[in-house]
Amino acid sequence: MSQGNDCSTEDSQGFRLVRVRGEVDLSWSQRLRKAILDALGSGRPVAVDLSAVSYIDSSGIAALVEGFQNARGKGQRFSLVAVSQPVHAVLELARLDRVFPIYASLDAAAEAR
Amino acid sequence: MTPAHPATGAATGEIGPGEIGILADFSHAFVASMDIDETVRQAVVKIAEHMNAEAAAVFLLDPLQDDIVCRASAGPVDVVGLRVQRGRGIVGRAIAYNRVEMVRDTAADPDYLGAQKGFPARSILCAPLDTAHGPIGALQVLNKRNGQLFDDHDANVLRLLAVPTALALNNARLMRELVEQNRIKREFQLARQMQKTLLPRRRRDFPLVALNVPAREISGDFYDFFVLPDGRIAFCVGDVSGKGMDASLLMVRASSCLRWAGRDQLDPGAWLARVNDELCETVVRGMFVCAVAGYYDPGTSVVEFSSAGFPPLLHRDPEGRMREILADGPPLGILPGCTYPSQRLALGGGSLYCFSDGVTDVRSAERRPIGIEGVRELIDRVAALSPRARVRAILGHLRKLQLADDTTLLLIADDQQPARFLGGIGGLSDPDNLRLVRKLVGDVLQLLAFDEGTRQRLILAVDEAVANVIRHAYGGAPDGHVDLCLWLEHGALRFELRDEAAPVDPQCIKPRDLSECRPGGLGINLIDAVMDLWYFDQPGDGQGNRLVMIKKLPRIG
């Protein structure tokens, strides 16, 4: 049941930007994983906008970790931007909040280059 | 001992179709054999014929007697059962050097032991029966017919025939050992079943709850309780020194002694003294029993008890203060005539925990025994639960660590309140149902005084638990069944998640090291971080697994 969930990719400010919306759980995390890996396939810096994610579980976090490791292996940039409070709480709980490069907005990520 | 033909192994000699034929016959006979002794007997007859020898025999090492014994023979005299000292004779030499020995003239060989049962050997050919763990015996032929002598060709043929013979005898030996192991295992299982029947049946809403987890198949720990005609409940818990069959037999004796003496409603000290005298008459020297015995009166909340070398009892009062009560007498079965003082304790709405040293000896993640401090901490963490849930949660938690010994826990609870059912959901192991699970948990949590952050984390932990069942217990199959129930104990929320999947080893379910950054395996860490306590077990009522997670309610005011 993935009503309200959405995942789209666009180019913005030099990033391949993946926008995620809704509740990311086991029923939907594979979609997020594929979107992230596809975006990384472009070879360009990737940012994942998590502002509209109201829930994420460890399978969603695993998709982010896989993307991050994949990018690092290729020397590619991978950032999380506009992380919503529920997502931030889970990243903190998993002690991953200091592992990912996290920016308040895409602008902030672009400036940090 | 001097090897007569050191270079025999390097001998040359063509292997012809006749040898291939007998080799094939042998291998087939051994594979198809239902009776290895009979097959070996037939084999030596064929070997003697084929080698054109007057006699043939199979010798095997006997590790118990440390000698070599003849298992099968063919020829004018039967030498089955003949024993040769290890390392002696031509057969001993073939085994010791693990190579073919050829003696063309026994009179010239100092190792020849002389005629056996009146049958003189003029020439001998002997090949070791080699296995991956060294020779297990030897195959021997004596006196080539028509006055001929054994040659290098014969040596090669015998060496060849020794191969399937060694393989078959070794397999038969391994099979016998396996059968023996299985027999012992079955006997242990029967002993365990019998021990279980000695334990009292569990009773619903009873103030005494106990559980026992044996370290091996059988336990040296025991407990018992029964209601006396005046309404008091007699109880005892014991721990027999040592492990294994002797300890478990003593456990049966000690527990029946304690039960028998407890029926007389003696003062607890006199009760233990009587059992001590009884055990001292029969116990093997060096074995003893640590025990505590007494009565709990639900009317007055008073426990009267006496302890014989048992680990300290822990009393927890309703305010959470804990007190250790030490043993006042030596263990049972060591010295007759010992006295055991009785103690009285008013529970006053609190609980008394009696546990065998297996509980304090459980190893923490750092491999140190958790000790009495670890037990106190654990009792604190589960204090808000109903008595049965408390005992289950403590042992469930201990099972996640390393149990080194029989582990027994008996709880006398003067503070029991029934648990209240808050809600539940059952359905298929389909990830699409996770949203419904989160909705239910969210709705129930609205009724309780958790802050928003804790509420979110609890929803996450339950979602993770259900996702783990879907992914790991059912391997992703969406047609399994999952049941979630939420219970309110008098100070905690208990989430109980059940599945009908094949049993999962609780030891496999552990949080992983968070310092390694990798996708996957995070769920248990999140559950561990959010819940006050969780454990995983197989409920006794059949197939499936159960995960229990506990979160204390926030203190109000």
SS3 per-residue string spanning B127-152: EEEEECCEEEEEEEEEEEHHHCCCCH
Residue B3 has a pLDDT of: 43
Q: Reduced to 3 states, what is the DSSP secondary structure of residue B312?
A: coil
- Min Cα separation B492/chain A (Å): 22
Half-sphere exposure of A78 (CA within 13 A, CB side): 24
- A 10 A CB-CB count for B511 gives 16
Which superfamily does CATH assign the domain made up of B17-178 to? Answer: GAF domain (3.30.450.40)
Residue A110 has a pLDDT of: 93
- A 10 A CB-CB count for B485 gives 16
Q: Reduced to 3 states, what is the DSSP secondary structure of residue B328?
A: coil
Contact at CB, B460 and A93, closer than 8 angstroms = yes
Contact at CB, B526 and A94, closer than 8 angstroms = yes
Domain B205-413, what fold? Answer: Phosphatase 2c; domain 1 (3.60.40)
Closest Cα to residue B430, out of A41, A22, A27, A24?
Answer: A27
CB B501 within 8 A of CB B480: yes
Residue A1 has a pLDDT of: 45
A3 band by pLDDT with thresholds 50, 70 and 90: low
Residue B526 has a pLDDT of: 92
DSSP single-letter state for residue A12: E
Of B433, B522, B529, the CB nearest to A61: B522
How far apart are alpha carbons A75 and A69 in whole angstroms?
10
Q: In A, what residues contact B, Cβ < 8 A?
A: 1-2, 23, 25-28, 55, 57-59, 61-63, 65-66, 68-69, 86, 89-90, 93-96, 99
Closest Cα to residue B459, out of A86, A66, A110, A75?
Answer: A86
Residue of A nearest to B524 (CA): A58
A-chain residues within 8 Å CB-CB of B436? Answer: 1
- Min Cα separation B513/chain A (Å): 11
Residue B557 has a pLDDT of: 44
Q: Reduced to 3 states, what is the DSSP secondary structure of residue B290?
A: strand
Cα distances (Å, whole numbers) of residue B234 to A8, B88, B328, B342: 69, 67, 19, 14
Of B453, B519, B526, the CB nearest to A65: B519
| CB-neighbour burial class of residue B48 (10 A; exposed 0-12, middle 13-18, buried 19+) | buried
Residue B201 has a pLDDT of: 84
- Min Cα separation A60/chain B (Å): 9
C-alpha torsion A50→A56→A62→A66, nearest 10: -10
A46 band by pLDDT with thresholds 50, 70 and 90: very high
CB B432 within 8 A of CB A1: yes
Residue B248 has a pLDDT of: 80
Residue B403 has a pLDDT of: 76
Q: Torsions phi, psi of B357, nearest 5?
A: -70, -10
What lies within 8 Å, CB to CB, of B542 at 6+ separation is: none
* DSSP string over A44-103: S-EEEEEEEEEEE-HHHHHHHHHHHHHHHHTT--EEEES--HHHHHHHHHTT-TTTS-EE
CB B101 within 8 A of CB B88: no
How far apart are alpha carbons B550 and B507 in whole angstroms?
19
Residue B6 has a pLDDT of: 38
- In B430-491, the DSSP E strands lie at 481-488
| End-to-end Cα, chain B, rounded Å | 92
- Min Cα separation B219/chain A (Å): 40
Cα-atom radius of gyration of chain A, to the nearest Å?
Answer: 13
Which superfamily does CATH assign the domain made up of B420-552 to? Answer: Histidine kinase-like ATPase, C-terminal domain (3.30.565.10)
Query: What residues are paired with B376 via a beta bridge?
Result: none
How far apart are alpha carbons A70 and B50 in whole angstroms?
70
What lies within 8 Å, CB to CB, of B419 at 6+ separation is: B385, B386, B389, B487, B488, B489, B494
**Residue entry with tokens 């459980």:** B362
B-chain residues within 8 Å CB-CB of A61? Answer: 519, 522
- Which helix (DSSP H) or strand (DSSP E) does residue B235 occupy? strand B233-240
DSSP single-letter state for residue B508: G
Residue of A nearest to B461 (CA): A57
What lies within 8 Å, CB to CB, of B198 at 6+ separation is: B222, B224, B252, B255, B256
Query: What residues are paired with A20 via a beta bridge?
Result: A7
**Residue entry with tokens 């006794």:** B540
Position B305: which residue type? F
Closest Cα to residue B195, out of B181, B212, B183?
Answer: B212
How far apart are alpha carbons B99 and B250 in whole angstroms?
51
What lies within 8 Å, CB to CB, of B133 at 6+ separation is: none
Of B435, B470, B522, the CB nearest to A62: B522
Residue B460 has a pLDDT of: 96
How far apart are alpha carbons A110 and B20 in whole angstroms?
81
Task: Give the residue extent of every domain in chain B.
Answer: 17-178, 205-413, 420-552
Top pLDDT among A63 and B492 is at A63
Residue B185 has a pLDDT of: 83
A-chain residues within 8 Å CB-CB of B518? Answer: 65, 69
Residue-wise pLDDT for B360-413, tens only, equals 888 887 888 888 899 999 998 888 888 888 898 898 888 887 777 888 999 999
Segments in chain B below pLDDT 50: 1-12, 557
The ipTM of this complex is 0.87
The answer to whether residue A20 scores a pLDDT higher than 80 is yes
Residue B543 has a pLDDT of: 75
